[in-house]
Amino acid sequence: MWSFFHKLGSPRWFYQISGKFLPWLAIIAAVALVTGAVWGLLYAPQDFRQGNSFRIIYIHVPASAVAMAGYMVMASAGAISLIWRMKVAEMVLKCAAPIGAALTFLALVTGSIWGRPTWGTWWVWDARVTSVLVLFFLYMSIIALYEAFENKQAATKACAVLSLVGVVNIPIIYYSVNWWFSLHQPATLKIVGETTMPSSMLRPLLIMIFGFYVFYALALLLHVRSEILYRERTTQWVRDLLMSRKART
């Protein structure tokens, strides 16, 4: 186990092993997203209260879930970079931030669109909505903080600390609808207890969530691999890799 953990910290080994997963991740993500989107947007029954406007749930909920999970990935990478100073963890910390910010922005936009017919307004300072906005600001702060430092080692440490501090916002987002009076509907999927969502609506939602997770993994791997090539561009193995690609073309 520890041997694998140390190998995972090697940029060269990570680049080589991650390349084997990319085609499979791309295929699985495409199939899941297309299947879930077609099923949910075209064939799932209308909601008896919200009508067809509820269908945005098939984008909003997966984006929100993966945005929160992505923050935990980023914070975990930050903790590993602080404790073991692993290069790959530092790269994951940096690369996860813009992907997470994009997903959080998508969650906010789709939530706003959903709120217009449901609440009669584009935006309310609801506990859930506000805490997700804080999540977006945390992602953007990490991106800005990294770029503000000339010394990238210091930047990584600062970003790692900020990401760990921001973890407290994740349970606030999830449990906000239970802790405070909220216009936002309760959690669609529950960790404890059964969901009240009909299976005809739930199945495409689960497929979309799965597809978003796989797509996140694919995007993160591609971004990290690009960062590895940039940081390791002066090493012999990267030069050999580039020469072999040129020879093929």
Of the listed ranges 72-81, 84-93, 124-133, 173-182, the least confidently predicted one is 173-182
User: Could you tell me if residue 36 is inside a domain?
Assistant: no
Mean pLDDT of 62-68: 97
Q: Report pLDDT digits (tens) over 118-142.
A: 778 888 888 889 999 999 999 999 9
pTM: 0.93
- Model confidence over 163-172: pLDDT tens digits? 999 999 999 9
Q: How many domains does the chain have?
A: 1
Q: What value does the CA radius of gyration of the chain take, rounded to a whole number of Å?
A: 20
Structure token pair of residue 193 = 């207890």
Cα dist from 91 to 137, 167, 226, 231, whole Å: 20, 19, 10, 9
The pLDDT score that the predictor gives to residue 197 is: 81
Q: Does a structural domain hold residue 3?
A: no
Give the pLDDT mean for 229-246: 91
* pLDDT tens digits along 204-214: 999 999 999 99
* Mean pLDDT computed over every residue of the chain: 90
**Are 146 and 97 within 8 A, CB to CB?**
yes
Residue 22 domain flag: no
Tell me if 25 is assigned to some domain.
no
The yes-or-no verdict on residue 243 having pLDDT over 70 is: yes
**Within a domain: residue 48?**
no
Pairwise CA distance, residues 247 & 239, whole Å: 12
Helix, strand, coil shares of the chain as percentages rounded to 5?
A: 80, 0, 20
Does 134 map to a domain?
yes
**Residue range 219-239: average pLDDT?**
95
Q: How confident is the model at residue 174 (pLDDT cuts 50, 70, 90)?
A: confident
Range of the domain at 172: 53-248
Q: How far is CA 153 from CA 87, 156, 195, in A?
A: 10, 5, 45
Listed in sequence order, the residues at least 6 apart from 162 whose beta carbon sits closer than 8 Å to its beta carbon are 138, 141, 142, 145
**Domain presence at residue 19:** no
The answer to whether position 176 is within a domain reads yes
Contact 168, 98 (CB under 8 A): no
Residue 165's pLDDT is 97
